Structure 1
Amino acid sequence: MSRRADRDHPVLEQAATGSEQGRGPEAVRVSGSLSRQLLWWIVLPQLILWLVGAFVTYSVASNYANQMVDRSLFQTSRALARQVKPIGNGMLIDFPRAARDIIETDPDDTVYYMVSSPPGQFILGNRTLPPPPPVVLENDKPFFYDAAVADTRVRVAALLLPFGEEGRERLLVQVAKSRASREALARRILIDTALPLSGLIVLMTLIVWLGIRAGLSPLSRLRRLVEDRQPNDLHPIRMSEAPAEVHALVVALNSLLAAVRRNVETQKRFISDAAHQLRTPLAGVKSQAELALEAAQDPQLRARLERVRASAIRSAHLVNQLLTLARAEPESAMRQGQVPVHLGPLARELTAEMVPRALQMGVDLGCDEAGADEREGEAEAELVVIGNPLLLREALVNVIDNAMRYAGRGSVVTVRTRRQGDVAVIEVDDNGPGIPEADHDRVFERFVRGSNDGTGCGLGLPIVREIVQQHGGQVTLSNIDPHGLRVRVTLPLR
């Protein structure tokens, strides 16, 4: 096996990595949040309608304010006209000081008035009032126009009254009031209308935002379900309560996952069937080569038979590794039982089983029990994980076997177990040549080999990592000074 990822080549190379090399990640164009787009398309028309509504409201308010001011000016002009009474060929002006104070003293605005007899004979009032524009005025019918008095914009009501013999003479009464009160009234109407409308828009925006969040919550749940999945989890996504649109998306995703799982299972089944079919003929080739070696006398023939035997051993090892890898795949692992596994006794048992082989290879293999004391049984009872004992045993056998294979004759391999917080730690150390630190990640890829020593096939560490990850753990490599390698496996405790 290959704890050094079966270092069978001085330069790391992948024998079968497929077409994944040189394939970079595709750029994903993100068009923005769907909820923000929905909110924007809902709020933007509301803002536009609010502006249009504010403009229309101000126009209507100005129109009503003009009507109120015009009605007030008309009434004032009629009252003022009644103070000028024609007598024969003259006029009697009955305009006491008190009446003048009432007209001129407006608490909210400035009032201007003027009475004249065309063509321009001033009778009383303010001489600064401009005459009406050159239009035909009708008797007893007011005419309203805008003008300016001492840089003050005013609204003027002009009333033409007949007097004299047979009404041949004309009396022009003009009453003006600045536009300040009218504009103030229009602004007040606008504010009183716009503020509640703005509050309603804010409240409606909040309700719309909450509605969008509630409506898109199935998408958020679907996103979390996909994000929380392991890359090798191809089981259907379950969302019982979802709108029709999201349900259709879930159905499409489940169809895709089912197709991918069928393809993966087909490939795994092919590997497993091929491996099973190859085991018997490879065992026969190995046996025949050994029998031929016993009967052969020619040195050259023996050398060739020895190479045949080594190739058969290596091929059988590869087949066994493929079978182990197939059993370690997620779907296969989930179909197998999960039981409590005591790592301390398991490590000692495997170490003891592999001691005879270590002696044949000239390797000093042992289990570190330097930290053991009278509480050893209690400490071992704490190193309990939930998992598949056969797979965990296979992972630990791979690590120890690789250490013996590639550390070399005369090396020392040590297995130790301990607890670190909430995880159990298994470490296998050797004083062999080690692996360059830059290659520690690559050696976990399938069929990657970092040495030409041994009979590995580049599947050892991938198998170990697959098994450890299925049990929620991690496996890492680190160099040991002055030389050597440490394989560290961490598994969550029960």
Structure 2
Amino acid sequence: MNPFARASGPSMTRRLIFSITAMMALLWLLAVGLGLVVMEEEYAEMFDGTLQDTAERLVPLVVDDLEHRGMLAEPDDNRPGTAPQQLQTGNSSGDREYLIYQVRDASGRVLIRSHDAPEQAFETPLKAGFWKNTTYQFYTATDESAKVFIQVADAFENREEALREGAIALFLPLALLIPVSGIAIWLVVRRAVQPVGELRRQIETKDGGNMEPVDASILPRELQPIATSVNLLMTRLRTALDAEREFTSNSAHELRTPIAGALAQTQMLISELRDPANRHRAGQIEASLTRLSHLAEKLLQLSRAEAGIGIAEKSVDLSLVLDMVLTDFWRGMNEPQRLILNRTEGAKLTGPFSEDAFAIVLRNLIENALVHGRPGEPVEVFLENGGPVRIVNGADLMSEGELATIRKRFSRGKTEATGSGLGLSIVERLLGQMGGKLVLASPADGRKDRFEARVELPKTV
């Protein structure tokens, strides 16, 4: 597991915040909508009541005024000059009237009208009660003895305006309340799910090099069973890994001594034999023992890699490790000029990494380049300031499938050279613990052929 890798997928926190905020906003909008329905009904009752009260209050006042003016005529009064006259009230303020009215006699003639009332008589029938058309709501009040009808009208536009202003007054606060509530929900949810994030971070750090139990004491009651189950699983896994590592390490250690002794005896036997056939057979035994010794060495390195030795607490200069490893190779090579270091002047590679783990990585990659590269062609090691470390050797072009194959444990490419097929597995395991990665390229960067192994480590500040 790479501790530097970030989890992918939808966020539970984000989904929870969005869902709660959306549900709350939907409920608020629904409540406002229902409130507007109720408000419309209440407005209708209120306006109708005002309309009726106004008409009924005007009846005695209008009748008294008409009698005082002598404008009320008997039904059989047909004398010339006594026909009723149409009067108009004034509106000194100049504002539009919300309620308009007309005073009509039994014949439908308009006797008095308000300032904004039309000169023509309303289309309303001369009958007491409510009546409406597409524009107005009317109420007709009458005095039966005087045969006078007071018709008061209220435009539906007034009611729609009042309802619209009420809706704006309800919706405007939501425009501020919803984002503020969303921020409050975000803060509350983030605080509530913080233990889940802490548990996730603790589990993310668990791998072959970190098998410490999860601290369940800081978790809420709902998450403690999960932490307990994880700890039980980690205990069983740690036991199994420890047994595997111990077996691998012990096997490698136990094999090294008898193999070394058998190899030494075989070499002495070869020096004493004179018969070519016997010397050939003894040479085959020597080669087999050498391969077995190499395999035991790789198993020991694999055991150390599985133990998680890649991370160190303090920062070190890995360029010094590179110099030491190259010096060891040069001393043991028959043709040291074949291994070339191309290092930028003053280049360093620093970070909180294990020097031992980095040395194992370099030894495996350089050894692979020397053993599996074209005989006689140079092996070049490149280091620029801050990395990466590139190791390039002569080789035929390889396909993506072949590059993927050689990464597998105990897998080898098309080569006649001896090997165990464990080198790249050990390298990738250690680099994974160091937060880096191994990149294989064919052809090499900037070349038409050759093979390149590139070690990329995370940048440090």
Pairwise same-fold verdict (TM > 0.5): yes
Question: Residue in 2 aligned with 1:436?
Answer: 398
CA distance in 2, matches of 1:49, 1:326: 67
Where in structure 2 are the equivalents of 1:21-420 lying within 5 Å? 33-82=15-64, 100-102=87-89, 107-116=97-106, 125=111, 126=121, 129-132=124-127, 143-147=128-132, 153-159=136-142, 161=144, 163=145, 171-180=146-155, 183-218=156-191, 219=193, 226=201, 229=204, 232=207, 263-280=240-257, 282-283=259-260, 286=263, 290=267, 305-329=282-306, 331-334=308-311, 338=314, 340-341=316-317, 343-344=319-320, 346-359=321-334, 364-368=337-341, 379=346, 382-407=348-373, 409-416=375-382, 418-420=383-385
**Unaligned 5+ residue runs, structure 2?**
1-7, 112-120
Q: Partner of 1:52: helix, strand, or coil?
A: helix
CA distance in 2, matches of 1:391, 1:414: 21
Amino acid at match of 1:176: Q
Match of 1:449 among 412, 415, 418: 412
CA shift for structure 1 position 51: 0.7
Normalising by structure 1, we get a TM-score of: 0.68
- CA deviations on 1:130-149 (whole Å, 9 max, x unpaired) are 143xxxxxxxxxx422155x
CA shift for structure 1 position 406: 1.8
CA distance in 1, matches of 2:250, 2:356: 21
8 Å Cα contact 2:103/2:150 also seen in 1: yes
CA shift for structure 1 position 69: 0.8
Q: Partner of 1:440: helix, strand, or coil?
A: helix
- Bigger CA drift: 202-211 or 245-254? 245-254
CA shift for structure 1 position 402: 1.9
Amino acid at match of 2:125: P
8 Å Cα contact 2:309/2:430 also seen in 1: no
CA distance in 2, matches of 1:189, 1:127: 24
Q: Partner of 2:384: helix, strand, or coil?
A: strand
CA distance in 1, matches of 2:217, 2:255: 46
CA shift for structure 1 position 53: 0.5
8 Å Cα contact 2:318/2:349 also seen in 1: yes
- CA deviations on 1:136-177 (whole Å, 9 max, x unpaired) are xxxxxxx422155xx76441323353x5xxxxxxx5432223
CA distance in 2, matches of 1:154, 1:483: 93
Q: Partner of 1:210: helix, strand, or coil?
A: helix
Larger RCO, structure (CA 8 Å, separation 6 or more): 1
- Equivalent pairs, count: 425
8 Å Cα contact 1:350/1:397 also seen in 2: yes
CA distance in 1, matches of 2:449, 2:97: 102
8 Å Cα contact 2:104/2:110 also seen in 1: yes
CA distance in 2, matches of 1:425, 1:103: 95
CA shift for structure 1 position 55: 0.7
- CA deviations on 1:108-127 (whole Å, 9 max, x unpaired) are 444233233xxxx6787459
CA distance in 1, matches of 2:148, 2:220: 74
Normalising by structure 2, we get a TM-score of: 0.72
8 Å Cα contact 2:439/2:454 also seen in 1: yes
CA distance in 2, matches of 1:146, 1:284: 120
Say if 1:385 and 1:43 are closer, same or farther in 2 by CA, change over 3 A: closer
Say if 1:131 and 1:427 are closer, same or farther in 2 by CA, change over 3 A: closer
Which one has the bigger strand percentage? Answer: 1
